[in-house]
Structure 1
Amino acid sequence: MTDLEPRPAEVVPHDPNAVLSPAALDRLDRSIPENTKTAYRRQARDFVAWCEERGRDTLPASAQTLADYVSHLCDLDRAPSTIEQAIATIRVAHREAGHDGKPDTRAALRILKTHKRDRAEAGKRKKKAPPVTLTALRAIIDATDPTTLAGRRDRVMVVLGFAMMARRSELAALRIEDVTFTDDGLTILIRKSKTDQDAEGAEVNIPHGVHPDTDPVRVVRAWLDRLQAADGPLLRRINRWDQLQPGGMSGAAINERVRALAIRAGLPNGADFTAHGLRAGGPTEAAKAGQPVSFIADHGRWSKTSPQVLEYIRPVDKWRDNPMRGIGL
């Protein structure tokens, strides 16, 4: 086999109970986020190429083939999360091809466990994007030029990303008509998100800020006044000559823009900043201000069972509730 597609099946009499309509197939395909499909396709291509070089079968693959492939990824020092995704990709391909339970992953997972231990002993830790705290946010704002289209758009991007605790996909999907000005601030409609699988939508309320340059209401109004548009993407593409381009920014473009702004602002390790830092910075600062975890989780649209929000809050708690504080050292 040269790919992870199932082998052609023998021709059998048509069974109307065993087929899906084109519309159903389309909806099934669209139920998987595009970035997830892209990652899975990349993982599948890499596995196929590795197998072809070594004359191994890809479907069904043996337990030894999977274990050797995982060991190969370890040799490349791939992140454990990347290797876990590769294993999941191969398992899904086998299940969809009718090879349930194959390949056996036990040896592969033991190799991955060893890889994690080796990385820990070498001082390598899971890399996390630094949170964009209020200090970092203001430095980024200072690095923008509000007299330009790009500068005003960038202010909206980082301020809303922080205040909404937004995923980059949520920022990229925002439309002008999703923004409502109220007496209390802004109400932002998020049409769908990672934890909203049924696309019921959610509204995020953002109060007025106290600093003109980071007040969400002011920065959004300044951008819309300059944009002069009633609908369409909120975060627009702008070329190097500060000219509007058709369409909105992608999640990847937002990520790269945040990194570029962090570097321009002179933040320590500026190249490590990403759009995720905006989502992490909001709960970090809210926890410092004493906001309850339940309020933070609800505002950031985290699943009630997700431990992720605690990952942002624990560093704050470790300082605020440190047992060495106030003991007379």
Structure 2
Amino acid sequence: MRCATGAILVLGLAAALRRSELVALQLADIQLVEQGLTVFVRHSKTDQEGEGATIAVPAGKVLRPVAHLNAWLAIRGGEPGPLFTRIGTKGEYTAEAMSDRSVARLVKRYARLQGLDPEVMAGHSLRAGFLTEAARTRASIAKMQEVSRHKSLKVLLGYVRSAERFDDHAGAGFL
């Protein structure tokens, strides 16, 4: 996986970001800390006032978001501006922010490479994947909401129910 692609996909998943939030990130929005990194989301669908929110992202042992981000930053450099930039027609990195459609295309491309059906994958799969896995591994609703920033528990619980459909099933003892 190319450095930029790995950083985009892993950070999007690890921070449960919407694709619009992911491409709006600026280098200044990312802070490396001892435990991992913090991501400042300046504006989102549920933050119309633009107060912003800071999300903690652990360094990780499996996906390793900090390692992917550091690999990308070694290429990108430390110039202020968009964290994730477009790639020109000759493969050169530009100073322009990548588009949210590009994130969706990357998700579909890498889903296909992993043998998954790209037709059921989208840019939102990063956010949904985080919440589904968090529910599957029994993260608390409060901690899930802290990362996802859902204002409505009803919406958040939609992810939990789909992840736990077969857990403690009512018919498990006799089916």
Note the alpha carbon deviations across 1:258-310, whole angstroms, 9 max, x for none.
1122223321x22331110000000111111111112112210100x352211
* Match of residue 320 from structure 1: 167
Alpha-carbon contact 2:82-2:95 (below 8 Å) kept: no
Distance in 2, Cα, partners of 1:236 & 1:311: 33
Gaps of 5+ in 1: 1-143, 145-150
Q: TM-score, normalised by structure 1?
A: 0.51
* Match of residue 96 from structure 2: 247
* Match of residue 261 from structure 1: 110
The alignment partner of 1:319 has SS state of: coil
Gaps of 5+ in 2: none
The alignment partner of 1:284 has SS state of: helix
1:273 paired to 2:121:
yes
C-alpha RMSD over aligned residues: 1.5
What is the aligned length?
Answer: 175
Alpha-carbon contact 2:81-2:95 (below 8 Å) kept: no
Question: Identity across aligned pairs (percent)?
Answer: 33
Of 200, 205, 218, 2:67 maps to 218
1:300 paired to 2:148:
yes
Distance in 2, Cα, partners of 1:172 & 1:209: 22
Letter in 2 for 1:161: G
* Match of residue 81 from structure 2: 232
* Match of residue 25 from structure 2: 174
**Structure 1 or 2: larger strand share?**
2
Note the alpha carbon deviations across 1:68-90, whole angstroms, 9 max, x for none.
xxxxxxxxxxxxxxxxxxxxxxx
Letter in 2 for 1:316: A
Q: Return the index of the structure with the highest Cα Rg.
A: 1
Structure number with greater CO (CA < 8 Å, separation at least 6) is 2
Q: TM-score, normalised by structure 2?
A: 0.93
Distance in 2, Cα, partners of 1:311 & 1:240: 40
Distance in 2, Cα, partners of 1:201 & 1:275: 21
Letter in 2 for 1:186: L
